[in-house]
Amino acid sequence: MPSNTDSSEFVPAMAEIAREAGALLIKYFEARVKIEYKGEVDLVTEADRKSEALILERIRAQWPNHDVMGEEGTRIESGSDYRWYVDPLDGTTNFAHGFPVFCVSLALEFKGQRIAGVVYDPTRNELFSAEQGRGAYLNNRPIRVSAVDNLAECLVATGFPSHKRHKNPNVFFYHQITLRTHGVRRAGSAALDLCSVACGRFDAFWEFNLNPWDTAAGVLIVEEAGGQVSDFSGAPFNINSRETLASNSLVHEAMLAEFDAVFKGRGLEELPSPVEYAKSRGKAIK
Ligand code: IPD
Ligand code: CA
Ligand code: CA
């Protein structure tokens, strides 16, 4: 058992656990599992639970004294300096519909500091990892955020919560930032969205109401790849924050300025009226 906080002692074992859980997910994915509901549109499957059980067993076997918080109900809180955040299947809605964008996300904190994180996408065999102060990697090769410094040239990502979705204003941000960038993707796995910022596929990502298990690993991977993560006012990211804004750091200020404008109701582009559009249907298209 590691006796100090040297995170490089953890990452190889974390990668092995994530790969094992990813292989289990693929088996269920190919068999098309039954969908159950946690909330109105909050889905869960047997694969989520089996993956969490496997990960928990592996963690407990190697680090029996560590605390663990897992999305599917694991809460081990003994006051240990070490705490794991486990998302056994990030992207359940995609998974349940057969859309191949999902992953396993594991992060480890020591005294409240993120020291190691691993995100594994079993559909592409892509393993993202980071250790505090040692950079970020994709399949063991170093990765870096993009060098795009102009918001208008950015490809950006977001997500919409399945919980309390009627109360979420994100569609306004989606609309505004779509008009200000090359586009906004909504792929359905926050951990993979963060990793895509880390390796330069996306230039920024934001989401309301994520949970610690969605963000813990991905945030460390973005930071170690040279990116920046904050809340929507620019304050440092906090694991219990309900606001996540990650970027290549070069466009962070520009993203914050867009958020500020939307929150103040300033500069909002008007949406075209669907009623007017409907009236024009059937007429010759010019
Ligand atoms: C969800 C995904 C999705 C995000 C949701 C999350 P889950 O996690 O990360 O991209 O938009 O907010 O809850 O439920 O599939 O683990
Ligand atoms: Ca998740
Ligand atoms: Ca999950």
Find the CATH number of the domain harbouring 234: 3.40.190.80
Element (H, E) at 46: helix 46-62
Which one of 142, 166, 184 terminates a domain?
A: 142
Dist. CA 206 → ligand 1 center (Å): 12
Residue 104: domain span: 7-142
> Is 279 contained in some domain?
no
Which one of 123, 142, 161 terminates a domain?
A: 142
> Is 286 contained in some domain?
no
Banded model confidence at residue 42, pLDDT cuts 50, 70, 90? low
pLDDT above 90: percentage of residues in the chain? 80
The response to whether residue 190 sits with its C-beta less than 6 Å from ligand 1 reads yes
Which one of 94, 120, 142 terminates a domain?
A: 142
* Phi, psi angle pair for 166, to nearest 5°: -70, -20
Asked whether residue 12 falls in the same domain as residue 132, the answer is yes
pLDDT at 130 (0 to 100): 98
> Is 240 contained in some domain?
yes
State the chain's mean pLDDT as an integer: 92
Asked whether residue 111 falls in the same domain as residue 168, the answer is no
| pLDDT value at 35 more than 80 | no
> Is 76 contained in some domain?
yes
| pLDDT value at 71 more than 90 | yes
The response to whether residue 161 sits with its C-beta less than 6 Å from ligand 1 reads yes
| 118-151 pLDDT per residue, tens | 999 999 999 999 999 999 999 999 999 999 999 9
Asked whether residue 82 falls in the same domain as residue 108, the answer is yes
Asked whether residue 130 falls in the same domain as residue 158, the answer is no
Q: Which numbered ligand comes closest to the C-alpha of 93?
A: 1
Specify whether the CB–CB gap between 117 and 143 falls below 8 A.
Answer: no
Asked whether residue 105 falls in the same domain as residue 191, the answer is no
Residue 7, judged by CB atoms within 10 A of its CB (0-12, 13-18, 19+), counts as: buried
**Comparison of pLDDT for 165 and 115, the residue scoring more:** 115
> Is 51 contained in some domain?
yes
- Residue 76 to residue 70: CA distance in whole angstroms: 9
- Residue 163 to residue 55: CA distance in whole angstroms: 25
The response to whether residue 121 sits with its C-beta less than 6 Å from ligand 1 reads no
- Residue 140 to residue 121: CA distance in whole angstroms: 14
Asked whether residue 100 falls in the same domain as residue 117, the answer is yes
Please count the structural domains in the chain.
Answer: 2
Q: Residue whose CA is closest, atom 8 of ligand 1?
A: 90
Mean predicted confidence (pLDDT) in 188-209 = 98
Nearest atom, ligand 1, residue 188 CA:
10
Question: Please, what sign has the CA dihedral across residues 192, 141, 236, 263?
Answer: negative
Dist. CA 284 → ligand 1 center (Å): 42
Mean predicted confidence (pLDDT) in 38-48 = 74
Mutational pocket test of ligand 1: of 72, 97, 210, 211, the residue with most ligand atoms within 8 Å of the beta carbon: 210
> Is 31 contained in some domain?
yes
CATH number, domain of 80, equals 3.30.540.10
| pLDDT value at 172 more than 80 | yes
> Is 260 contained in some domain?
yes
* Residues constituting the chain: 286
Specify whether the CB–CB gap between 157 and 187 falls below 8 A.
Answer: yes
Q: Residue whose CA is closest, atom 11 of ligand 1?
A: 159
> Is 275 contained in some domain?
no
Asked whether residue 78 falls in the same domain as residue 98, the answer is yes
- Residue 65 to residue 243: CA distance in whole angstroms: 31
**pTM of the complete model:** 0.93
The response to whether residue 48 sits with its C-beta less than 6 Å from ligand 1 reads no
Output DSSP code: residue 237.
P
pLDDT at 269 (0 to 100): 79
pLDDT at 2 (0 to 100): 43
Asked whether residue 158 falls in the same domain as residue 137, the answer is no
Nearest atom, ligand 1, residue 87 CA:
16
Asked whether residue 196 falls in the same domain as residue 107, the answer is no
pLDDT at 235 (0 to 100): 97
